[in-house]
Structure 1
Amino acid sequence: SDHNVEPITPVQASEVKQRDLLAAFTATPRLATAVLWAASRDEAMVVEHLVDLGRRTASERMAHFLLELGARLRLVGMADRAGFACPLSQYLLADA
């Protein structure tokens, strides 16, 4: 792997076997479409992060990160237009 993940809040994870995932995609093509859309969206975010590194100031990078975090949390009901809980320390924000 070329990266790692470090949770900052408790998480639950489950293993999904490839054959089970392919069977689910076969049975539910809309699920396959949704997963591919999510992967495409993630790829677009990676490109945006590369732009962050090369063209934005530190303040601009931090603003973009916090706005993106808020948008992603709104998608899953963990934020609203007024804001969101942010348990990130200065150390974690610097890494981000």
Structure 2
Amino acid sequence: MIDDTRQLQELLVNQGTDLAITEIMAVTPSWMNKTGGWQMERLTRLAVGEDKIGAEVCLLEVAKGAVYHTSHQQGFEIEALANLRPIFLSNMIQGH
């Protein structure tokens, strides 16, 4: 279980004959997924950017198409993120 984007990126880069990632699941709390509880969904895209005060914000896109973010700012807008950089796309998994 990985809880850091840098750890995930390192694992993705180091895939080889002895390490193959076949699926990545995102576990999100209710405040993020806007439901009554925690959910686990297949991650299709992960990106990291900076909000208007320079704090790091993660964007998670899941298989059903929902996009979640880690910001707690009131009125946060995804479009306002600067320096947005991809960490993971589902086609980065071996065999895809």
Q: Of the two structures, which has the highest relative contact order with CA contacts closer than 8 Å and spacing of 6 or more?
A: 2
| Greater fraction of residues in strand | 2
Question: Could you tell me the TM-score, scaled by structure 1's length?
Answer: 0.27
| Greater fraction of residues in helix | 1
Question: Could you tell me the TM-score, scaled by structure 2's length?
Answer: 0.27
